[in-house]
Structure 1
Amino acid sequence: MTTYTPPADFKTRPDLLGRFGMVGSTHWLASASAQAVLERGGNAFDAAVAGGFVLHVVEPHLNGPGGDLVGIFAPVGGEATVLMGQGPAPAGASVEHMRGEGLELVPGAGALAAAVPGAVEAWLMLLRDHGTWELADVLAYAADYARNGHPILGRAVSTIAAVADLFRDHWPTSAAHWLPDGELPEPDSMVRNEAYADVLDRLVAAGDGAATREDRIDAARAAWGSGFVAEAVERFVRTPHRHASGTDHAGVITLADMAGFSAAYEAPVTTEFRGHTIAKAGAWTQGPVLLQTLNLLEPLADALLDPCTEAGAHTILEASKLAFADRDAHYGDGADPETIQTLLSQEYAATRRPLIADVASREVRPGLGAVTFPPLRESYDPAAAASGVGEPTVSRDGESRGDTCHIDVADRWGNMIAVTPSGGWLQSSPTIPELGFCLGTRLQMTWLEPGLPSTLRPGRRPRTTLTPTLVLRDGRPVAAVGSPGGDQQDQWQLLYLLRTIVGGYTPQQAIDAPALHSTSFPGSFWPRTWTPAGAVLEDRVGADVVDGLRRRGHAVELSGDWSLGRLSAVTRDPETGTLSAAANPRGAQGYAVGR
Structure 2
Amino acid sequence: MRFSRPPAFTTRPTLEGTVGMAASTHWAASATAMGVLERGGNAVDAAVAAGFVLQVVEPHLNGPGGDLTAVFATADDPTPRVLDGQGPAPAAASAARYRDEGLDRVPGAGALAAAIPGATDAWLLLLRDHGTWEVADVVGAAIGYARDGFPAVARVGSTIGAVASLFRAHWPSSAALWLPDGRVPEPGEVLRNPAWATTLGRLADAAQGPTREARVDAVREVWAEGFVAEAIETFCRTPHRHASGTDHAGVLAVADSAQWRSSVVDAFVGGFRGYLVAKTPAWGQGPALLQMLALLEPYDDAALDPSTEAGAHLVLETIKLAQADREAWFGDGPDVPGIGDLLDPGYLAARRGLLTDQASPDVRPGRVGGRDPRLATLALAGHVPGVSGSSAVGEPTVTLGGEPGTSSHGETRGDTCHLDVVDRWGTVVSATPSGGWLQSSPTIPELGFALGTRLQMTWLEEGLPSTLTPGRRPRTTLTPTLVLDDEGRPVTAVGSPGGDQQDQWQLLYLLRTLVGGWSPQAAIDAPALHTTSSPGSFWPRDREPAGAVVEDRLGDDVIAGLARRGHRVSRAGDWALGRLSAVGIDHARGVLWGAANPRGMQGYAVGR
1:417 to 429, 439, 460: 429
**Cα distance in 1, alignment partners of residues 496 and 58 from structure 2:** 14
How far the C-alpha of 1:134 sits from its partner, in A, is: 1.1
Match for residue 285 of structure 2?
286
**Cα distance in 2, alignment partners of residues 397 and 586 from structure 1:** 18
Match for residue 539 of structure 1?
552
**Cα distance in 1, alignment partners of residues 424 and 337 from structure 2:** 39
Q: 1:273 to 1:10 in 2, by over 3 A?
A: farther
- The answer to whether the 8 A contact 1:93-1:252 is kept is yes
How far the C-alpha of 1:339 sits from its partner, in A, is: 5.1
**Cα distance in 2, alignment partners of residues 435 and 577 from structure 1:** 45
How do 1:387-398 and structure 2 match up within 5 A?
387-389=398-400, 390-398=402-410
How do 1:120-519 and structure 2 match up within 5 A?
120-208=120-208, 210-334=209-333, 336=335, 338=337, 340-368=339-367, 370-375=372-377, 376-380=380-384, 381-384=388-391, 386-389=397-400, 390-473=402-485, 474-519=487-532
CA offsets per residue over residues 219-273 of structure 1, 9 Å max, x none? 1101100001000000111000000000000000000101111110111111110
Structure 2 portions without partners, runs of 5+? none
Q: Which runs of 4+ in 1 moved over 6 A?
A: none
**Cα distance in 2, alignment partners of residues 472 and 537 from structure 1:** 30
- The answer to whether the 8 A contact 1:6-1:509 is kept is no
CA offsets per residue over residues 507-564 of structure 1, 9 Å max, x none? 0000000000011110000010111111100000001111101110011111000000
How far the C-alpha of 1:371 sits from its partner, in A, is: 1.9
**Cα distance in 2, alignment partners of residues 449 and 542 from structure 1:** 42
**Cα distance in 2, alignment partners of residues 238 and 139 from structure 1:** 30
Normalised TM-score (structure 1): 0.98
The residue type equivalent to 2:590 in the other structure is G
- The answer to whether the 8 A contact 2:6-2:522 is kept is no
Q: 1:335 to 1:468 in 2, by over 3 A?
A: farther
The residue type equivalent to 2:115 in the other structure is A
Work out the percentage of aligned pairs sharing the same amino acid: 64
**Cα distance in 1, alignment partners of residues 313 and 42 from structure 2:** 42
The residue type equivalent to 1:318 in the other structure is E
**Cα distance in 2, alignment partners of residues 6 and 489 from structure 1:** 25
How far the C-alpha of 1:302 sits from its partner, in A, is: 1.1
How far the C-alpha of 1:450 sits from its partner, in A, is: 1.1
**Cα distance in 2, alignment partners of residues 572 and 136 from structure 1:** 30
- The answer to whether the 8 A contact 1:386-1:401 is kept is no
**Cα distance in 2, alignment partners of residues 127 and 330 from structure 1:** 33
**Cα distance in 1, alignment partners of residues 459 and 315 from structure 2:** 28
- The answer to whether the 8 A contact 2:84-2:122 is kept is yes
Q: 1:339 to 1:278 in 2, by over 3 A?
A: closer
- The answer to whether the 8 A contact 2:135-2:207 is kept is no
How far the C-alpha of 1:372 sits from its partner, in A, is: 1.5
How far the C-alpha of 1:402 sits from its partner, in A, is: 1.4
How far the C-alpha of 1:576 sits from its partner, in A, is: 2.5
- The answer to whether the 8 A contact 1:471-1:479 is kept is yes
- The answer to whether the 8 A contact 2:398-2:404 is kept is no
**Cα distance in 2, alignment partners of residues 6 and 447 from structure 1:** 44
How far the C-alpha of 1:77 sits from its partner, in A, is: 3.4
How far the C-alpha of 1:379 sits from its partner, in A, is: 2.6
Say what the alpha-carbon RMSD is for the aligned residues.
Answer: 1.1
How far the C-alpha of 1:386 sits from its partner, in A, is: 3.1
**Cα distance in 2, alignment partners of residues 344 and 97 from structure 1:** 36
Q: Number of aligned residue pairs: give it.
A: 593
Moved more, 136-145 or 7-16: 7-16
- The answer to whether the 8 A contact 1:333-1:453 is kept is yes
- The answer to whether the 8 A contact 2:109-2:440 is kept is yes
**Cα distance in 2, alignment partners of residues 341 and 366 from structure 1:** 17
**Cα distance in 2, alignment partners of residues 9 and 564 from structure 1:** 21
- The answer to whether the 8 A contact 1:23-1:409 is kept is yes
Q: 1:88 to 1:338 in 2, by over 3 A?
A: closer
**Cα distance in 1, alignment partners of residues 543 and 40 from structure 2:** 48
Match for residue 592 of structure 1?
605
**Cα distance in 2, alignment partners of residues 131 and 257 from structure 1:** 27
How far the C-alpha of 1:395 sits from its partner, in A, is: 0.8
- The answer to whether the 8 A contact 2:399-2:439 is kept is yes
Match for residue 582 of structure 1?
595
Match for residue 564 of structure 1?
577
**Cα distance in 2, alignment partners of residues 131 and 190 from structure 1:** 32
**Cα distance in 2, alignment partners of residues 76 and 572 from structure 1:** 12
The residue type equivalent to 2:204 in the other structure is V
The residue type equivalent to 2:276 in the other structure is T
Q: 1:137 to 1:387 in 2, by over 3 A?
A: closer
The residue type equivalent to 1:465 in the other structure is T
How far the C-alpha of 1:340 sits from its partner, in A, is: 4.2
The residue type equivalent to 2:382 in the other structure is E
How far the C-alpha of 1:186 sits from its partner, in A, is: 1.6
How far the C-alpha of 1:335 sits from its partner, in A, is: 5.0
How far the C-alpha of 1:345 sits from its partner, in A, is: 2.1
How far the C-alpha of 1:334 sits from its partner, in A, is: 1.3
Q: Tell me, what secondary structure is at the counterpart of 1:51?
A: helix
Q: 1:192 to 1:470 in 2, by over 3 A?
A: same
Match for residue 4 of structure 1?
3
